[in-house]
Amino acid sequence: MNKIYNPTPDTWTSILERPTKTVNDIEQTVKEIFTAVQKDGDVAVAKYTTQFDGVYFENSEVTAVEIETAVASIPNDLKEAIALAKANIEAFHQAQKTSRVSVETAPGVQCWQEKRPIQKVGLYIPGGTAPLFSTVLMLAVPAKIAGCNEIVLCSPPDKNGNINPAILYAANLCGVTKIIKVGGIQAIAGMTFGTKVIPKVYKIFGPGNQYVTVAKQLATQFGVAIDMPAGPSELLVVADDTAVPAFVASDLLSQAEHGIDSQVILVATSKVLIDAVEKEIELQLEQLPRKAIAEKAIANSKLIYVENDKIALELIDEYGPEHFIVCVKDEDFYVNNIGNAGSVFIGNYTPESAGDYASGTNHTLPTNGYAKNYSGVNLDSFMKSMTFQKISATGIQNIGTAIELMAEAEGLQAHKNAVTLRLAEIEQRSKNIE
């Protein structure tokens, strides 16, 4: 890993740069595939699935038999682990439900807000070297709690044309309505435009590689919403002498093994800790089955020494990490003051992997600095807030003159007339009663 000591603020942008390709490197490929899928539908999807995944389907929808086979193949202890994780995720997201907000803003003017589910959502679940069945739980559970009618899941097939059984098991357990064996850009394009096999959805969720991230961003140009730009995984740990070096190293490696374009960073106020963590990384790396992947990610990563917590916090906020682990004596300083982070993990016994799987918080989080302006996935991500209002005759009399004056000042006479006519009718009715 790259060691950096006391970097000055003017160098932070360069040393914290993510190891990702620019949109310009990827965008042309994404646009070409989108155009083809929009024009040729399932034919184009099948073509790119053959090109990128090495398999061809007449129909890429997962069958009931495939789901039954997958369910039967999952060991009971894994089923129990998934059930525990699902229960905790349900508990945390169920607690996010809010009741109707209602207020009388003026006498006779009643305004309220209610939430409604997004009716059709698409879930993208990465496959490849790490089939993320845990992401199925993170997305399908809140979608179900929110009340989404249609939950479509796309995931890339393996070389034999199958989706990992654990993904199918989790999807079936969580009430996914349709599962499609399609991945990458073509999956996002399929959910954007709709094909005979892949339903068109209103919002797309889920992490993916840089191509999937750009594809999701392009989808927004065609009227489809997305959860966030979620690309390669990243983790930042802040630590001092109270941190356990072996724990810190294990957390850094837990994200490094995601992919070669992942990034992990340690910011520490102790040079002794940095040296100890570096040694632990070397030891633990040798034991990892995904050593080759983790090594490449580690090459993109940094060990940064700063003199105090204040400087550390400023640097961390500049980076805006997806995952942020706090292992310091004065943890409240970071917890109370951090402004930019997707999810925060506090203390020596709170590994990031707990949030990835079973603590209950959602692991679909903003990366690449988007934690500065995006939230991670939560129950509200699957819902829309709708406002309502009902105004009585008394109410329109109370606010009508203000509306007329403002409309006239903006030069919108029809807006003014919509109020003036009502006020006149109320006045006439009052005179008739007299």
Spatial separation of the C-alpha atoms in residues 90 and 70, rounded to whole Å: 23
Residues 380 and 115 sit within 8 Å (Cβ to Cβ): yes
Measured from the Cβ of residue 392, the count of other Cβ atoms closer than 10 Å reads 12
The 10s digit of each residue's pLDDT in 230-280 is: 778 899 999 999 999 999 999 999 999 988 889 999 999 999 999 999 999
pLDDT band at residue 209 under the 50/70/90 scheme: confident
More confident residue, 207 or 40: 40
H-helix segments, 339-392? 352-357
Sheet containing strand 263-268, edge to edge, reads 2-5, 302-305, 263-268, 234-239, 323-327, 343-346
Q: Which amino acid is at 378?
A: N
Spatial separation of the C-alpha atoms in residues 313 and 92, rounded to whole Å: 28
Residue of 323, 331, 408, 427 marked catalytic: 323
Percentage of residues of the chain with pLDDT beyond 70? 99
The answer to the question of whether 349 is labelled as a binding residue is: no
Instruction: Give phi and psi for 302, each to the nearest 5.
Output: -135, 145
Q: For 158, what's the count of Cα atoms within 13 Å in the CB-facing half-sphere?
A: 9
The 10s digit of each residue's pLDDT in 55-68 is: 999 899 999 999 99
| Lowest-confidence region among 144-148, 264-268, 295-299, 308-312 | 295-299
Q: Is 61 a catalytic residue?
A: no
DSSP-derived 3-state class of residue 346: strand
Percentage of residues of the chain with pLDDT beyond 90? 90
Mean pLDDT of 43-60: 95
Q: Is 322 a catalytic residue?
A: yes
Spatial separation of the C-alpha atoms in residues 377 and 205, rounded to whole Å: 8
The answer to the question of whether 370 is labelled as a binding residue is: no
The answer to the question of whether 186 is labelled as a binding residue is: yes
Residues 54 and 155 sit within 8 Å (Cβ to Cβ): no
The answer to whether residue 215 scores a pLDDT higher than 80 is yes
Residue of 322, 352, 363, 425 marked catalytic: 322
Sign of CA dihedral 29, 364, 12, 349: negative
Mean model confidence pLDDT for the chain: 95
Mean pLDDT of 188-200: 98
DSSP string spanning 257-305? Answer: TT-TT-EEEEEES-HHHHHHHHHHHHHHHTT-TTHHHHHHHHHT-EEEE
Q: What pLDDT is stored for residue 22 in this prediction?
A: 62
The answer to whether residue 24 scores a pLDDT higher than 80 is no
Q: What pLDDT is stored for residue 155 in this prediction?
A: 97
Q: Which amino acid is at 425?
A: E
The 10s digit of each residue's pLDDT in 316-369 is: 999 999 999 999 999 999 999 999 999 999 999 999 999 999 999 999 999 989
pLDDT band at residue 21 under the 50/70/90 scheme: low
The answer to the question of whether 93 is labelled as a binding residue is: no
Spatial separation of the C-alpha atoms in residues 142 and 173, rounded to whole Å: 13
Mean pLDDT of 90-104: 97
Mean pLDDT of 123-151: 93
In the chain, helix, strand, coil percent, each to 5? 50, 15, 35
Residues 206 and 142 sit within 8 Å (Cβ to Cβ): no
The answer to the question of whether 94 is labelled as a binding residue is: no
Spatial separation of the C-alpha atoms in residues 68 and 347, rounded to whole Å: 41
| Global confidence as pTM | 0.93
The answer to whether residue 25 scores a pLDDT higher than 90 is no
Measured from the Cβ of residue 347, the count of other Cβ atoms closer than 10 Å reads 14
Mean pLDDT of 401-426: 98
Using only the alpha carbons of the chain, give its radius of gyration.
26
How many helices (H) and strands (E) are present in the chain, helices listed first?
Answer: 17, 14
